[in-house]
Each structure stands twice: as C-alpha cells, then as structure tokens.
Amino acid sequence: MKFTSIAVLSMISSIALADNTQTDSSSNLGFVEAPAAGSMAMTLEAVPGPILHAAQVALQNYVGKNELVSVELDRDEIEAVYEISALTADGRRLEADISASGKVLEIEEEIASNAVPFKIRTAIQTYLPNFLPAKETPAVEKSIRPASNGLLEVWYEYAGELFDVEVRSDGLALLIEPA
C-alpha cells in the first residue's frame, strides 16, 4: 500500500512538472491577455456592416443628415470600440462610439466653449479653478451616453493641458483623467 501511494504521488508530480513546461496557449487556460492598446485608423468599408449601421442610425437620430467621414478602432478597452466620425450639414463634427458587439456607447459632438451651459462652467471654476484647457480643437465635446439606470446622461468633456475633465450636465459630478 505504501509503495502504491508513493508511485501514484510520483506519477502525479511528473505530470504536473511536464505540464508546467508547456509553451502553447493551452497552458494559459484561465488567463486573459491584455488588449493591444492604442487606436488604429481604418476605412469605412472595413467596418463590419452591423457596426456601421448602428453608427448611421444613432447619428441620424441625433442630428439628422450627416456624412460618415472616418473611423478608428480603439483597442484601449477590453472590447474593441469603433469610433466613427461624421460631419453635419453645417460642418460640425460628431462621433459615435460603437462596441464590437454593436452597442452604441456614446455620441460626441464638438461644441464651442460659449455653448457650454453655465452650470458646467461654474463647476469647473469652483472645483478646478486652475484648470488649463488644451489649445487643441475641439476643446469641449458634448457627450451623450447611457447611464446605469437605462436613461441617457449628458456630459461635457474638456481636453486639458495636464488632465482632462468630464462634467455631468447637472454640474454635480466631475471625472478627471490624465491628458
């Protein structure tokens, strides 16, 4: 009995050691590789049909007539996000962020600084009096995105020199992230 136990233990150890030397992907079960970070420009023709359709419908419902002009595949998140840009008839730039599964994550619209509501400007001045807006264009984007309760939320996104700021439309929530 003692000999059998030692033999079985020895066999299990050999299998475990042999398994640890595998270099193929089957030895990494249970691990998820980090996504490849960064954005990649692509043509509109290369965008999967359902993704393109979701962007067209979302932008059409938001602003009416527009023309899709470019797309970038953002791989900074766990699920890839297609950032599809459009121009309105009056020249404003819009962007629809669509997940790889076809869900509309956000619609962004470039706006002039003087078009930002008073509540939002006051929140920035109150909580971040030394905030320096970036010199790039656009400095401010209006962002419409689904909230956790299923309703839509409006945020104002400021590009900054040192950090970016997002302010919810009620002026009571601010998010700060590196520029």
The pTM assigned to this predicted structure is 0.72
Q: What angle do CA 108, 112, 113 make, to 5 degrees?
A: 110
Output the pLDDT for position 47: 94
- pLDDT tens, position by position, 113-157: 889 999 999 999 999 999 988 887 667 999 999 998 989 999 999
Residue with the two structure tokens 């990494």? 28
Output the pLDDT for position 92: 86
Contact in structure between 108 and 141 (CB atoms under 8 Å): yes
φ/ψ of residue 116, rounded to 5: -75, 130
Distance CA 41, CA 178 (A): 23
- Alpha carbon distances (Å) from 105 to 72, 93, 143, 171: 15, 17, 10, 21
Low-confidence ranges of the chain (pLDDT < 50): 1-34
- Alpha carbon distances (Å) from 62 to 48, 51, 86, 144: 22, 17, 12, 10
Output the pLDDT for position 66: 85
DSSP secondary structure of the chain: -HHHHHHHHHHHHHHHHHHHT--SGGGGTT--PPPPPSEEEE-GGGS-HHHHHHHHHHHHHHHSSEEEEEEEEE-SSSS-EEEEEEEETTS-EEEEEEETTS-EEEEEEEE-GGGS-HHHHHHHHHH-TT--B-SSS-SEEEEEEE-TTSSEEEEEEE-BSSEEEEEETTSS-EEEEE-
